[in-house]
């Protein structure tokens, strides 16, 4: 049973890490303005925009002087969740 829990937490850790990198790429895309019809750009936008929009609705103060800080809030939340899960299991 313990091995299953460890494997599950490692899988969640890997998924969180992948999503963190996707968020970083999405934030970089906001500076570069790539082709919006590119399938990769569409995919990244589709999987990152709903959580960003949720954060913007719940915490309107994340937009400071026209700069959207919702990716930063999302990164911090994911890092907290990842660390919490690791500490909980180990």
Give tens-digit pLDDT for 29-85: 988 989 999 999 999 999 999 999 999 999 989 999 989 999 999 999 999 999 999
φ, ψ of residue 37 to 5 degrees: the values are -95, 0
Instruction: Give residue-wise pLDDT tens across range 11-22.
Output: 999 999 999 999
DSSP reduced 3-state for 1: coil
How many Å apart are CA 60 and CA 57, to the nearest integer? 6
State the CB neighbour count (10 A cutoff) for residue 2. 7
Q: Distance between CA atoms of 61 and 2, rounded to whole angstroms?
A: 42
What is the extent of the structural domain holding 73? Answer: 2-89
Q: Is 68 helix (H, G, I), strand (E, B) or coil?
A: strand
Instruction: Report the domain count for the chain.
Output: 1
């Amino acid at each position: 049973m313990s091995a299953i829990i460890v494997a599950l937490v490692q899988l969640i850790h890997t998924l969180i890490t992948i999503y963190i990198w996707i968020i970083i790429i999405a934030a970089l895309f906001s500076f570069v303005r790539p082709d919006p019809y590119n399938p990769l750009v569409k995919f990244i936008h589709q999987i990152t925009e709903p959580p960003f929009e949720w954060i913007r609705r719940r915490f309107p103060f994340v937009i400071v002087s026209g700069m959207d800080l919702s990716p930063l809030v999302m990164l911090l939340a994911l890092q907290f969740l990842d660390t919490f899960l690791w500490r909980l299991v180990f």
